[in-house]
Structure 1
Amino acid sequence: MLNAFNQLPYWLRLGILFPVAFLNGWLLFLLIGYLEPLVTIFITATLLAFLLDFPIRLLELRGISRVWAVTLVFLIALVILAILALVLIPLILQQLSDLIAVLPQWIDTGTENIDNLRKWAIAQRLPININQVIGQIAEKLTTVVQSLSTQGLNFLLGAIGSIFNILFVLVLTVFLVFTGQNIWDGIFSWIPEPWNVELRNLIRDKFERYFASQAILAGILSLSQTVVFLILQVPYAVLFGVTIGLTSLIPYASAFTILLVSIILSLENWVLGLKVLIAAIIVGQINDQVITPRLMGGITGLNPVWLILALFIGGKFAGILGLLLAVPLASVIKSATDNLRYRLTHPNESMIAQVPLDSSSELINRNLEE
């Protein structure tokens, strides 16, 4: 039967495979929605396990045993979590609360400045109807800033309030680090050869390299933006710097965050808002042009158009988690599709694009040494 299918025209084979894949994807989406929040907890724990497994394997490459590598990484992770829980997170929440409290005053100041600009435009008899344009901008800006600040605080408080889910994620992460190998062996054993080996290597390589690199880049950008904002004496510098860094986990999101932060600061002081915009763009470009290529390289291999479409679809179906998973998942689909297309167009040739299990560690380690 498989031979008969391979003898069909290429376009007909794609026409048969596409509706089957679409139906399976739709059923999987319904199942995920039914099992929430268990699926989100499992995916979050899996991502954390990927991040922890990366330094563990780097230590193993340097001759440290698995047990000691896991112990050392977990101790460092616990120290980092303690610092975040006791110092950084309370500071960010306090600054966020203060920002929400002072926002009405800043909005009033910004509205007054915009009104002065409107009066100046009328006095100069400008040909455009700047009165209506500026009024609409002020109204939209007020609504957006208030909505985003309120939703952001509610999201943070809701996430921190879910103590049970957080503990569940941490416990599950520990088990995945120790026993994840057996779990993935069982899952991929249901996939026929050679796709079980190929997909496993692709997923491990793409996801591990992507999230490990993105986590490092987000940390570097958060620290650098915060330091620059402190030098410029920006109010709520830690909140704004960390927010810009964390949103860099989603491609192109940090640009929107930089613009939003600059607009918020411009409400109170437009000169400071302009300085922050210029400084944040410079720091972001240094991060993108100097640090990112050395860590990321060509991990995704996606055209920017497909990247944007993947982000849109991921956000549509799974919100923030979907945005985080969209890029590596789309990269896996692209690589698997390229291999499938090659197999369909070259049925007499054998091609298994296996990725060595330690390729991600060796690649990033080599980039860091350079």
Structure 2
Amino acid sequence: MRRSASLQRLLFYGLSGPIVALNVWLLSVLFRYFQSPLTILSFAAIVAFLLNYPVKLFERARISRTQAVIIVLLVTLTLFGFLGITLVPMVIDQTIQLLNKIPDWLSSSQDNLVQLEAFAKQRRLPIDLRVLANQINASIQNVVQQLASGAVGLAGTLLSGLLNFVLVIVLAFYMLLYGDRVWYGLINLLPANIGIPLTKSLQLNFQNFFLSQILLGLFMVVVLTPIFLILRVPFALLFAILIGISELIPFIGATLGIGTVTLLVLLQNWWLAVQVAIAAILMQQIKDNLLAPKLFGNFIGLNPIWIFVAILMGYEIAGLLGTLVAVPIAGTIKGTFDAIKSGKSGDFMSTVTIPHDSDHN
């Protein structure tokens, strides 16, 4: 009996790895084949999850769900319209200016390397920066070519983005109205001990995760924009928004956002880049250690290693979209299994921990 049990465990652990790898490969193939509709459906589901909060508030005021959904969508569209008129043109203009400036910044950085090498030769220091200079020159040519090719398809990209935005809003509207019926119709196909915890886990993880990440990202944008303006950072609004958006990617997003902005500023002014990095890291620490715990409390968390693994698998399967939904999906799976093991499907908590860099120091 013991040999049989040990053999079963060996087979289970031995086959689980290849099965997981095969499933990841199949999911990545399916996503690439149905990338456009799956992306629109995923963003529509995220929007529906977020808008479900204010819809429930209106329902508590004895307003029918249809009326509540219409009111919330009208307010949301009004807000997006206001941002589209005021903020979006500024961001697009700064983005175009930044793309035009990058070749000049790379050229100036190449000149600085030449001066540094000449300075080193005068003092007989063994420094050869020709390879790095050649790489920068190749990067300049690559950037120029990409800008030339990207400018041609800019109008088509904006038109496609606007169409996708309309589709996301329309789908989110119908998900808010009829999503429960479709979901529970699918859940009824599963046993009750799986369907109930899966439903609660999915709702709690997605709502807690995206709401918290969006609020924290807004905090970074609101705080960093005036700081960058005081420091006279070029493209201050664009850089602050870039760091705020990077907050949506857990675990590594903030580091990537701050690192990218610092590198771009470094191409122009190294001392300004140091100031930008210090200000952004300081605000990030305030957000992680003071704001986040007070806003969202303590959740039952995933191990940081599993968070990182989930992000890597999500990126392999669905690219940027996969990195956004990897953590709440992993939390949903963990929460469902925990509820099934405990046998308390009705007593459930969110398993998503909002990962902060301070937790890993």
Residue by residue, what CA displacement relative to the aligned partner does 1:97-150 show, whole Å, maximum 9, x if unpaired?
Answer: 0111122222222221222222223333345x4535754774687589779988
Tell me which moved more, 153-162 or 35-44.
153-162
Report the equivalent of 1:333.
333
Residue 209 in structure 1 maps to residue 201 in structure 2? no
- Residue 319 of structure 1 aligns to a residue in which SS? helix
The percent identity for this pair of structures is: 33
Tell me which moved more, 132-141 or 238-247.
132-141
> Equivalents in 1 of 2:147, 2:282: separation in Å?
25
- Residue 275 of structure 1 aligns to a residue in which SS? helix
The answer on whether the counterparts of 2:91 and 2:238 sit within 8 Å (CA) in structure 1 is: yes
Report the equivalent of 1:255.
255
Letter in 2 for 1:255: T
CA positional deviation for 1:279 = 1.1
CA positional deviation for 1:38 = 1.6
Alignment of 1:172-183 (within 5 A): 172-183=171-182
Report the equivalent of 2:283.
283
Alignment of 1:119-198 (within 5 A): 119-126=118-125, 129=127, 131=129, 134-135=132-133, 138=136, 160-162=158-160, 163-198=162-197
Task: Give the alignment's TM-score, normalised by structure 2.
Answer: 0.81
Letter in 2 for 1:170: I
Residue by residue, what CA displacement relative to the aligned partner does 1:194-253 show, whole Å, maximum 9, x if unpaired?
Answer: 100011111111011101111111111112111211121211111111111011100222
Distance change >3 Å, CA 214–CA 279, structure 1 → 2: same
> Equivalents in 2 of 1:17, 1:191: separation in Å?
23
Distance change >3 Å, CA 208–CA 149, structure 1 → 2: farther
Task: Give the alignment's TM-score, normalised by structure 1.
Answer: 0.80
* 1:65 pairs with one of 63, 66, 69: 63
- Residue 239 of structure 1 aligns to a residue in which SS? helix
The answer on whether the counterparts of 2:202 and 2:332 sit within 8 Å (CA) in structure 1 is: yes
Report the equivalent of 2:353.
none
* 2:346 pairs with one of 324, 338, 354: 354
> Equivalents in 2 of 1:150, 1:334: separation in Å?
47
The Cα RMSD (Å) is 3.5
Distance change >3 Å, CA 98–CA 33, structure 1 → 2: closer
The answer on whether the counterparts of 1:107 and 1:142 sit within 8 Å (CA) in structure 2 is: yes
Report the equivalent of 2:97.
98
Tell me which moved more, 203-212 or 261-270.
261-270
CA positional deviation for 1:47 = 0.5
Report the equivalent of 2:109.
110
The answer for unaligned runs of 5 or more in structure 1 is: 1-5, 344-349, 361-370
Letter in 2 for 1:309: V
> Equivalents in 1 of 2:57, 2:345: separation in Å?
23
The answer for unaligned runs of 5 or more in structure 2 is: 351-361
Letter in 2 for 1:352: K
> Equivalents in 1 of 2:305, 2:141: separation in Å?
30
Letter in 1 for 2:344: I
Tell me which moved more, 130-139 or 210-219.
130-139
Distance change >3 Å, CA 257–CA 186, structure 1 → 2: same
Report the equivalent of 1:235.
234
The answer on whether the counterparts of 1:100 and 1:150 sit within 8 Å (CA) in structure 2 is: no
CA positional deviation for 1:272 = 1.5
Tell me the number of residue pairs that the alignment of Structure 1 and Structure 2 aligns: 344
> Equivalents in 2 of 1:306, 1:44: separation in Å?
24
CA positional deviation for 1:88 = 1.2
